[in-house]
Amino acid sequence: MHGQEKEENVVSTSPIEIQVGLLGIWMNKEYKLADQFAIRTEVGLDSEISAINSEDAYIMYPVFTAEPRWYYNFKKRSQKGKKTTGNFGNFVSLKSSFHPDLFVISNYYESIVPDLSIVPTWGIRRPISESFSFEAGIGLGYIFYFYKTQGYTSNEGELAANIHLRFGYRF
């Protein structure tokens, strides 16, 4: 039994997961780095909805993410009889995302300005059932826009927020 408890208290390499949220769809996989640390790799489509000239505009564009995560409360969750296998717990991460100008799906836009963001994030992952999960997170960081690639004279950076609420299916 003691061996099972130890296994329950450590990060594991996860199966592929598809997540959907209000503004996108993503596929990710986490790889164990150490007992409490994992790196999450993700590819997906981020989206935005806005009003332009009194008309609704939508856009979806690719995103690539690498996110080191520290799951800090596995032992406490396990002691309370809560599931941690599958990396279910609280985490702190450094979400690093890149939006290239590869393609867009939109009724208005033809391209995007590529950007790179780095956002320290606090979040939670919880199981809903054997294959379904829930994840939420919040953080503030920095985003850098590569305007020069679109013909502008200078690039710019600014404050960036990461607020997400996602539901996932694990294969």
Q: Is pLDDT of 3 > 80?
A: no
Q: Is pLDDT of 124 > 50?
A: yes
For the residues 126-153, what does the mean pLDDT come to? 96
pTM over 0.85: yes
DSSP letter string over 63-113? Answer: EEEEEEEEE--HHHHHHTT---TTT-SEEEEEEEEEE-SS--EESS-S---
In tens, the pLDDT along 93-106 reads 999 999 999 999 99
Q: Which domains does the chain have, with CATH numbers?
A: 2-170 (2.40.160)
Report H helices in the chain: 2-8, 74-79
Average pLDDT, the chain: 93
For the residues 78-102, what does the mean pLDDT come to? 94
